[in-house]
Amino acid sequence: MTTHELDLLENAIDSLAEALAKFEAGDDGEPKAFKFAVLHMAHFVELVFKHHIASKHPLLIYKEPFAAKVDRNKTITLWDAINFINNEAADTVSPALKKDLEWLKRLRNDIEHHKFRMDVPEVRATIGRLFRSVLEFLENHTDIELESLIPESTMETFQVLSDEYEFKLRTALQEAEAFEAAHPVEHHDPDARPARLDCENCGNPTLVQNDQSSTGYRCLFCENENGDNIPTACDICGVESTQGELDAWELDEGGYEYRCYYCSGRYHLDKDD
């Protein structure tokens, strides 16, 4: 019979690889995969903190390391490990990280022992934030070079989760694609405005229609609301155009009025020339 054996760190990395794979499956359109991403991520976090404690002395992983006979079936909890770390140096595990760990613990317990309700965007965002916080802890307080231990098959997801900018961008792109799919353009309507445009501020296709925006569009990534490519109409004659093709006229009472080539007077000036 084949024997499969992993030490504490190897076991943690194995769970992380599974968490990354399930996270990727969730991102690819399988929401229930995030359930398993939560379970595997929770297991990784617990084991990697235990590994950090055990690296100081192997016996510290056990509940009663100073007992006459150590019970090797009883190990410390994640919270024992965190208390130990913070007793060495206050807030090494920050209050924000502890809050995310509490969230992870509650959701994992609900999944394992009870019915559960999972807000997928919240799960996705919190896993990303939690992963980056744990990664920062490992970089600052341990000798573990996590990236070198990650399987190639999950490296792309590892890098996206590790980089807050890349994670935010992927999130914005996913939301923009979903918005566009939910708001198809009526091709028979010549005045129909596209649900999504390229944002001229950040260069990403994440500028989508937004009723709260003064221009009718807002970028899901950088929150920009302007651009020469944004459809709009002349405030005088109502002809459809874009912001870049209209002139903005400052009004006496404040604000601006957008005028087309003809209503702005440019047509007559060009004609006279």
Sheet architecture: strand order including 196-197:
196-197, 207-209, 217-219
User: Could you tell me which residue, 36 or 192, shows the higher pLDDT?
Assistant: 36
Measured over all CA atoms, what is the biggest interatomic distance in the chain, rounded to whole angstroms?
103
* 258, β-bridge pairs: 248
Amino acid at position 250, single letter: E
The set of long-range contacts for 144-150, using a CB threshold of 8 Å and a minimum separation of 24, is 144/9, 144/48, 144/51, 146/13, 146/16, 149/13, 150/13, 150/16, 150/17, 150/20
The answer, yes or no, to whether residue 6 has pLDDT greater than 90, is no
User: Over 60: is that where the pLDDT of 50 sits?
Assistant: yes
Residue 3 pLDDT class (50, 70, 90 cuts): very low
For 147, the 3-state DSSP assignment is helix
186 touches 206 (CB < 8 A): no
- Asked if residue 72 lies in contact with residue 62, where contact means CB atoms within 8 angstroms, the answer is yes
Q: What's the whole-number average pLDDT of the chain?
A: 89
**Amino acid letter for position 22:** K
Average pLDDT over residues 236-244: 89
Q: pTM higher than 0.75 for the full model? A: yes
Distance in Å from the first CA to the final CA of the chain? 93
Residues found in the chain: 273
Question: Mind listing the pLDDT tens digit for each residue in 193-205?
Answer: 899 999 999 999 9
